[in-house]
Structure 1
């Protein structure tokens, strides 16, 4: 079970690292995928900096947790994704809904559930080793 969860968390991490690298290397292409349109070079710089930071940090900490079978690093992507999901929910309440609003929320919710599973499995694995 631990190995399967490590692989799943590793895939979550790799997915986020890949998205972060795509934002870093080609924000103009990634913007429309996220319903973003940069305003000039500063807009591209903001997308390159902020979005790559979000996805790379979350992805790298997920990978760290998976490699070490350690639940602690998973707190970072969990917090990032929970705040993102909260922001999307708040936007639905304040700004209304669109058909495109729900797929990213579903992806975030699934990643949150997988990371929580990872925390639980990794914590149990560490307890078993401590005995």
Structure 2
């Protein structure tokens, strides 16, 4: 079980790292896949900064947590994706749905579940 969880987290971490680097290198194309469009340089800077930070921090925590088999650090990306999932539910209630709205929610929900299960299954370092 631990090996499967570690592998899933590592693969997910790599995926999110590539996603974050995509926002850093090419925010226009990366943003379009997320339904984001910048109207000026400030918008591009915001996508570069915020989306890169979100995905890279989540990815690094996932990769380090998987590599070191450290359940504590996995709570950081679980929190990030959990808040993102809550934001999507609020958006559904406030704005309604669009075609394909469910796919990011499934990815975030599965990520949160895997990370929380792994957080419990993997060791917690003692100080």
Instruction: Indicate the structure (1 or 2) with the bigger Cα radius of gyration.
Output: 1
Q: Deviations over 1:85-113 (max 9, x none)?
A: 00000010111112221111011011111
Matches within 5 A, 1:116-131: 116-123=116-123
* Match in the other structure for 1:111: 111
Q: The residue matched to 2:35 in structure 1 has which SS?
A: coil
Which consecutive segments of 4 or more residues in structure 1 shift more than 6 A?
none
Between structures 1 and 2, the one with greater helix share:
1
Q: The residue matched to 1:87 in structure 2 has which SS?
A: helix
* Match in the other structure for 2:35: 35
Pairwise CA distance, 1:50:
0.4
Structure 2 residue ranges without an equivalent (≥5) = none
* Match in the other structure for 1:50: 50
Structure 1 residue ranges without an equivalent (≥5) = none
Cα distance between partner residues in 2 of 1:79 and 1:116: 9
Pairwise CA distance, 1:118:
1.2
Cα distance between partner residues in 1 of 2:12 and 2:121: 16
Cα distance between partner residues in 1 of 2:89 and 2:29: 26
Q: The residue matched to 1:72 in structure 2 has which SS?
A: coil
How many residue pairs match? The answer is 126
Cα distance between partner residues in 2 of 1:108 and 1:23: 18
* Match in the other structure for 1:83: 83
Q: Aligned-residue CA RMSD in angstroms?
A: 1.5
Pairwise CA distance, 1:3:
2.0
Q: The residue matched to 1:73 in structure 2 has which SS?
A: coil
